């Protein structure tokens, strides 16, 4: 009986084997969308509860990750709409997990370089936060998480051509926001309607 239980819970056909390899990626995506550890954990938990009864459908998929990401994104949008608030996109923690003292002690970047990097990260996070929800999700999924446009066609249920134009507009908006924040020279009044590249 114990052998059967272990096979059901931990075996190759178990729910853990189907979804487990994608959990780190799904949590990272949930955190980037929600900007909060607690909200990300709740989103992933809601996802697992929602897809648990659909194990047979997951087994039939060629690529489970985009399908799971689509379900996660829908849960995020539903939660965001219910809450009636704009989610925050926070700066990602330092990948090395180092503080300034540790970084300078071993020949890493000095305090000025670390401060500049954090300032750039904060500027980028603020610019991403200023995007509308659709553009923010597209930038996060494509440019941060590395989804291809073909995968995003499945996740966001939009044609590749539409995604390309949305991504182009989102990047242009980000570029303008970052240039304005950096104090870039403004366009002359006569060229206000012209978009420069």
Predicted confidence (pLDDT) per residue in 126-154, tens digit: 888 888 888 888 898 898 888 889 888 88
Residue 192 lies in a domain: no
Q: pLDDT tens for residues 94-132?
A: 444 444 334 434 455 555 666 667 778 778 888 888 888
Domain containing residue 121: CATH number: 1.10.10.10
Q: Which is more confidently placed, 176 or 194?
A: 176
pTM here?
Answer: 0.54
Q: What confidence score (pLDDT) does residue 134 get?
A: 84
Mean pLDDT for the stretch of residues 165-190: 75
Q: Does residue 6 sit in the same domain as residue 42? A: yes
Q: Does residue 144 sit in the same domain as residue 74? A: no
Q: Does residue 20 sit in the same domain as residue 61? A: yes
197 three-state secondary structure: coil
Whether pLDDT at 168 is above 90: yes
Q: In which domain, by residue range, is 122 found?
A: 112-182
Q: Does residue 77 sit in the same domain as residue 30? A: yes
Residue 94 lies in a domain: no
Whether pLDDT at 21 is above 60: yes
What's the mean per-residue pLDDT of the chain?
A: 74
List the one residue out of 31, 60, 45 whose CA is nearest residue 145.
31
| Inter-residue contact 109 to 187 (CB < 8 Å) | no
| Inter-residue contact 173 to 181 (CB < 8 Å) | no
Q: Does residue 15 sit in the same domain as residue 74? A: yes
Query: CA quadruple 17, 21, 27, 29: dihedral positive or negative?
Result: negative
Domain containing residue 40: CATH number: 1.10.1740
How far is residue 169's CA from residue 104's CA, in Å, rounded to a whole number? 39
Mean pLDDT for the stretch of residues 50-79: 86
Q: Does residue 19 sit in the same domain as residue 77? A: yes
Q: Does residue 16 sit in the same domain as residue 81? A: yes
Domains in the chain, number: 2
- Cβ-count burial 178-193 (b if 16+ within 10 Å, e if not): eeeeeeeeeeeeeeee
What is the separation of C-alpha 102 from the centre of its chain, rounded to a whole number of angstroms? 29
């Amino acid at each position: 009986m114990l052998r059967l239980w272990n096979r059901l819970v931990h075996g190759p056909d178990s729910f853990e084997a189907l979804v487990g390899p994608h959990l780190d990626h799904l949590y990272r995506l949930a955190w980037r969308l929600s900007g909060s550890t607690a909200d990300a954990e709740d989103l992933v938990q809601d996802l697992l509860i929602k897809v648990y009864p659909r194990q047979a459908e997951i087994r039939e998929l060629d690529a489970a990750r985009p399908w799971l990401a689509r379900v996660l994104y829908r849960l995020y949008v539903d939660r965001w709409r219910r809450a009636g608030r704009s989610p925050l996109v926070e700066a990602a923690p330092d990948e090395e997990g180092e503080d300034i003292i540790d970084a300078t002690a071993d020949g890493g970047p000095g305090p000025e370089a670390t401060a500049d990097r954090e300032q750039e990260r904060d500027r980028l996070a603020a610019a991403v936060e200023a995007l509308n929800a659709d553009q923010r999700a597209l930038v996060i999924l494509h440019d941060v998480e590395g989804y291809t446009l073909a995968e995003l066609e499945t996740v966001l249920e939009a044609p590749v051509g539409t995604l390309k134009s949305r991504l182009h507009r989102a990047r242009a908006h980000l570029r303008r926001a970052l240039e304005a924040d950096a104090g870039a020279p403004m366009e002359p009044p006569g060229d206000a309607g012209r978009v420069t590249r």
